[in-house]
Chain A
Amino acid sequence: MANPAKLQILKDALYEEIRQHGSATRLFAQSDILDLNIIPNNDLELLMNVVQGLTDDKLLIGTTNHHAGLSWRWRSREEAKKYTSLPNDDAVMVYAIIDEAGADGIWNRTIKNRLNMHEAVVKSTIKFLEAKGYIASMKNVEHPNKKMYIKATLRPSDRATGGPWFTEGELDTAFIAELEGIVFEYIKTKSAYRGSQPTGTAGPTKTPKRGAVTAGETTTLARGTKRSATEMSNDDAAPAVGTTRTTPSTTTTTSTKTRAIFLPMPAGYKHYPTVAEMAKFIHETGITNNTTLGEADIQQLVDVLTYDGLIEPVRVGRRRGYRVARATKQDTVPFHKRQKEREAGVGLNLSLVPGAEPLSNGLTEAPCGRCPVFELCEEGGPVSPSNCVYFLQWLDLEDVPQALAPNVGFPP
């Protein structure tokens, strides 16, 4: 039997060697440890003693693995110290189980069932560990009502927090909406041409057209570089002044008024923004100061915009970009600027969401299309077209008392 001092030396040597050979998640089987050549003569009994000693010190964790059989992982000394400093076995067991759960955290009920302890004991132990700062309570988005615990040194995993879209276990809709607005604005300015069109001419007629392109706009387009959010907002502040020219053939009348309008790009346009470009843009502007958004996250956002019908995917060659849908109907004033205007009390009648006014048809305009009692409405019934208050309102016939027609707003 080796003396304790020698055992201690061997333990330290083995521990250090194991640490050299892999991360804390690597499993070391018996043969692996022997191959480290720390244990002299491959003495199995000595090996057992050394490993036992390390395990007692919480420096090694024994696990059984289906392929390799019994094997071990190492644990850092600081971590091990936490274990050894715990006063009783209950605390060690509870801490171990929380430690095992890792970044996903564990439900206190699971701890109780797994350890088969009394609830009061688990409670008091958890309280003790929390007070010591070893563990912390957390919230899981998938089970918001469960009380979960996690090691205090770890950050909850993305699965538990729900990824970058969650703040404190709640879906951060304000953040998402804001970011959607920015991404949409980015796509809009990148995928459509900001030109001008004569106003007051219904239908395509030949009107002397001013080719109004802001100098800044074209250069950025030509460079194809990313622009910051501040630059984006400047687009509108600098109106079409840079290069105002007239058609050589029609030099007579230049007095026709023009309005800014987004125009679709010619077919085969190669610079529709891709998700990678959007991610880069978001990253460079630093809008999301403490959240990092990967391409997959931006993809999610872009998909939502696609489903909203605001943008559409377009493939040119092998490039998969996105462009704004219904370019000519888009608002040329950036969304965030509109928002500021709203705050200042201007343009309150405009819609709050980004994108063009949704299409409408006969059904959505008539009172019937949005009538709450449409199913009941029939001549001779309690509600009938002949006594319909909504229709009277729609036809501007009678000033119906508001009480009669409760909060059903029809589009103008």
Chain B
Amino acid sequence: MLVTKPVAELCALLVDELHGELPSRIFAILVSKGRSTVLQLSQYTSMTPRQVRHGLAVLQQHNLLYYHVDPGSELASYEANPENAYNLIRTGKILEMIDTSFGAAAKDVMQNLLLSGQTRILDLVAAYREKIEHAAKTANGAEDDDGIAAETNGINGDSHNTKKGALVIKSTAQLNTVICRLVEAELIDVVHARTFHTSDDILKSVEKEAMAKQTAQGAKGGKGKLELQENIAEGLRKVRAESKSLKRKLEQNGSAAKRRRLFSGLESTNGVHEEETDPILDPRQVIRINYEKCLVDLRNRRLVQYATDMLSETTAYVYGVLLKLLTKDVPRCRADPIMDVGEDQDDDNDKNPGFVTTDQILDNLKTSVDLSLGVGKAEKHQISFSAAEEVQLYPPKKKALIEEVEVVGEASADEEEDSESEGEPDYDSDYKDSAATNGTHDENGINGMNGIKGTNGGTNGTKVTFDESAARKERKMDRPTQLRQHLLILAESTQGFVRHCGRNEWTVDFVPIINSLREVELDSVIERTCGRQGLRLVRILRAKGKLDEKALPNVALMRKPELQQKMLEMQTAGFVAVQEVPRDVKADVKKSFFLWFCDVDRSLSQMLDTSYRTMVHCLQVLEALRHKERDVLETTKRSDVRGREKDTMRKSYYERYSRFLECERKLFAQVMRVDDLVSVLRDF
């Protein structure tokens, strides 16, 4: 992560927002000054070392800090961890995601973890036990203001949620189960000594070890270097694997999914049954949230959102299930360039997510979902099965920015070949074609695809008419067929949501789909700022490369002066750029060519920067609002007012207060929306 000025500012603001001013100031100094010792810090901040240590402790607790102790030296130097500081922004999002996919109990645990930073399991259990006992005592009672959850979490803004309802975690055993599940999902991992080392430090030490080993063996030359690289990657992977130790231990006892299956599919939140089966976790283990894995899940959510925007809700739901199955074992969104270099050989799983079969998806669909929604109906003879069922074994080589704009009836050579080899002689013979394939594939594969004669697809020859009875038959289209329809739509989409990588096997090529998502985000910004015509021009340039100013109006069907104005507007905004190519040595401006082009990568990085600054601005506006309403906010901090704002405050004050809260919510929501964009641009 490149720490630019707006990022540094943003991180400091976020730390301030969640952990207070002292850590924030230290954090800001650390970001700007780099690695520093306590003494240096106290100098920079003009605070006493005691104060600095307090701040550092808070930062350390929340994993916002790296430290480094040189061998032989007594002083530790500290460094900021901007990744985790930025991740603070995603707190609410992660909690919401956990809530929907793991239930309220898991969310509660996660929230406590987020609020208290890395925690020993022992402490977490103790806190919960106290809470449970407290709740038991005041069972009839007024309120349960527990120590941990009461701290208002600004980002997600629904902290009272946990207070109002009954306790979500009812026993320590349940807590244990929840943690086990989260660990297995890799959403929680273990803190170890090297967690607090910067990746550079780890790399250096691993490199040193590998070098030492290497020279002992005495290998040199190209092969030796390659081996060294592999050794380093191996070493780094080992370090990375350390944090997964807990998960491995759990897996040795058989995974939770397996255990759960023994209970014939009981709901997992139903902790009573699982008490005995879940191993008790080592109470001394320190756990924290694994943001990398959270990001994988957030990416899935974003992709589902994308599919909703482009296709339909039902199809997007199917896509979500597919993604969830596919990414179960994907530990992070992007492969590390050093660590994953030699990994292809030993296990392919890490880089390539593998595939999911239709049956797997079917098993995981909610029964309440009506799959007949979201797909149009077409008669059998209107569908080309060979085209729909086309299997693409390999990921696309290069994603064109816009699908090649082709002239009708002029198929390029390779395409011609493709369709020939598919053996699709004519459209009219499709019906026969599909009837023939019917026999060879499993019964529900292709059979019902047509949508009309789903259940009795084998009996061909009868004239298909779109009347009432036919429609009723269509209703009976069986579920696997409906599912297949959705999957095929996803596979056929121009965005390339899904690749049909084998009969009934589906996979997702994340790099191209995320690239297309990035482009869509860029396009929507362009369209919103420069209008549809601006978007048109940019996309023309993307498709055609550099284009002469004179050629542009013809392609875009726009008037020259309007076009020029639009181009200038977009140049100012940084979406396009112009290159002047003189025709001869004299470089006469009148005779020069002016070539417009657009650099997508540059636009994207510029957009990322704008996003950071927008977030900073939002938080600064909030700060200004707080300053303006400080008298009101101060009253709400009084212990006699707190929690009873509505009754104790004067009406005008309360109105101002509630309006402020509304603004705060709005601004935080906005920051999170912008973060969605940042995730797409940077992390996915």
Contact = CB atoms under 8 A, between A and B. Distances in A.
Given A308-B532, A313-B405, A360-B528, A204 B313 contact: yes
B673 interface: yes
Contacts of A289: none
B409 A206 contact: no
Interface string A122-165: 00000000000000000000000000000000000000000001
Contact of A374 (B368, B488, B613, B676): B613
Interface stretch (B19-27, B45-53, B153-161, B554-562): B554-562
B543 interface: yes
A366 interface: yes
A270 B525 contact: no
A368 B520 contact: no
A353 B535 CA distance: 14
Contacts of A307: 402, 535-537, 539-540, 543, 556
A375 B520 CA distance: 24
A2 interface: no
A120 to B, nearest CB: 29
B117 to A, nearest CB: 28
Interface string A355-393: 000111111111011100010010100001111100100
B384 A299 contact: no
A295 interface: yes
Nearest to A274: B408
Contacts of B489: 264, 266-267
Nearest to B563: A171
A363 B607 CA distance: 9
A397 interface: yes
A222 B675 contact: no
Given A308-B535, A385-B617, A248 B488 contact: no
A385 B466 contact: no
A108 interface: no
B611 A363 contact: yes
Interface stretch (A23-31, A45-53, A70-78, A317-325): A317-325
Nearest to B385: A268
A265 B378 CA distance: 7
B617 A377 contact: yes
Nearest to A246: B475
A245 B468 CA distance: 8
Interface in B518-568: 520-521, 523-525, 527-529, 532, 535-537, 539-540, 543, 553, 555-560
A408 to B, nearest CB: 12
B388, B424, B485, B676: most-surrounded residue (chain A CB, <10 A) = B388
A213 B467 CA distance: 11
Contacts of A361: 521, 524-525, 673-674, 676-677
A385 B449 contact: no
B119 interface: no
B419 interface: yes
Nearest to B365: A204
Contacts of B449: 266
A63 interface: no
B377 A386 contact: no
Given A313-B405, A388-B621, A171 B614 contact: no
A362 B611 contact: yes
Interface string A197-210: 10000011111010
B485 A267 contact: yes
Nearest to A249: B475
Given A192-B376, A207-B370, A173 B525 contact: no
A328 B314 CA distance: 11
Interface in A241-257: 243, 245, 247-248
B382 A269 contact: yes
Given A206-B369, A304-B536, A243 B556 contact: no
B670 interface: yes
A271 interface: yes
A260 to B, nearest CB: 13
B370 A248 contact: no
Interface string A10-23: 00000000000000
A173 B566 CA distance: 15
Contacts of A328: 311-313, 374
B434 to A, nearest CB: 10
Contacts of B580: none
A306 B556 CA distance: 11
B613 A368 contact: yes
B310 A326 contact: yes
B292 interface: no
Interface string A273-310: 01110000000000000000001000111011011110
A329 B492 contact: no
B373 interface: yes
Interface string A57-94: 00000000000000000000000000000000000000
Contacts of B472: 245, 248
B491 interface: yes
B369 A271 contact: no
A324 to B, nearest CB: 11
A101 interface: no
B251 interface: no
Contacts of B673: 361-362, 365-366
B205 interface: no
Given A359-B309, A359-B520, A303 B555 contact: yes
Given A312-B494, A395-B663, 20 more contacts: A193-B375, A206-B368, A222-B466, A243-B468, A266-B451, A267-B485, A268-B385, A303-B555, A304-B556, A313-B403, A314-B492, A319-B427, A325-B310, A326-B309, A358-B524, A361-B521, A361-B673, A361-B677, A385-B621, A395-B666
Nearest first, the 9 closest Cβ-Cβ pairs linking A and B are: A193-B376, A268-B388, A362-B673, A267-B488, A386-B624, A362-B674, A385-B620, A364-B528, A267-B388
5 contacts: A165-B557, A203-B313, A206-B369, A306-B402, A388-B617
